């Protein structure tokens, strides 16, 4: 009896379970490095009510904290973006986040961002933006 298909199925199942467990653990908490980076960026600021859209900012005004948190700076306001389910791979610095804007110069909740490999230019994956939470300096 050939047991190879059973071993492959078991290995695949175990890999899927391990991957989903890791993704949930990363999503629910920040690493020490990410927490420090986010804390420095938002120091002295307070959160406002989430908004659905912000003006399209230049790439230099975007800061990636990790796979689950992106900051957009517009004037004196920093908007915290937490894509639904994260943007796996963005935090390692090997990928660029590309958005396509048609008829508007705004980034909005529900919009899809594509991860593109910086070297090859090939698409790697995508993520969907959530609402943008503004952080402003306290008066």
Kindly state the DSSP code that residue 131 receives in the 8-state scheme. Answer: P
Q: What is the domain count for the chain?
A: 1
User: Does residue 73 belong to any structural domain of this protein?
Assistant: yes
User: Does residue 106 belong to any structural domain of this protein?
Assistant: yes
Residue 19's pLDDT band, with cuts at 50, 70 and 90, is very low
Kindly state the DSSP code that residue 86 receives in the 8-state scheme. Answer: -
User: Does residue 121 belong to any structural domain of this protein?
Assistant: yes
Rank 6-10, 47-51, 74-78, 120-124 by mean pLDDT and report only the highest. Answer: 47-51
User: Does residue 24 belong to any structural domain of this protein?
Assistant: no
Query: How do residues 85-112 score in pLDDT, each as one tens digit?
Result: 999 988 888 888 888 776 677 889 999 9
**pLDDT for the residue 32:** 87
The pTM assigned to this predicted structure is: 0.74
| Selection from 120, 41, 129 nearest residue 84 by Cα | 129
CB 95 within 8 A of CB 78: no
User: Does residue 114 belong to any structural domain of this protein?
Assistant: yes
User: Does residue 66 belong to any structural domain of this protein?
Assistant: yes
**pLDDT for the residue 93:** 83
Residues in the chain: 139
Mean pLDDT calculated for residue range 26-45: 83
């Amino acid at each position: 009896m050939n047991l190879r298909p059973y071993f492959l199925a078991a290995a695949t199942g175990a890999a899927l379970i391990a991957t989903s467990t890791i993704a949930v653990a990363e999503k629910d908490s920040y690493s020490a490095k990410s927490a420090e980076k986010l804390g420095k960026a938002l120091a002295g600021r307070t959160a406002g009510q989430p908004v659905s859209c912000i003006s399209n900012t230049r790439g230099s005004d975007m800061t990636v904290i990790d796979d689950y948190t992106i900051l957009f700076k517009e004037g004196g306001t920093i908007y915290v973006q937490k894509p639904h389910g994260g943007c796996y791979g963005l935090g390692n610095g090997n990928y660029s986040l590309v958005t396509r804007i048609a008829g508007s110069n705004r980034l909005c909740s529900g919009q899809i961002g594509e991860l593109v490999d910086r070297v090859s230019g090939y698409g790697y994956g995508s993520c969907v933006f959530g609402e943008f939470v503004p952080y402003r300096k306290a008066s």
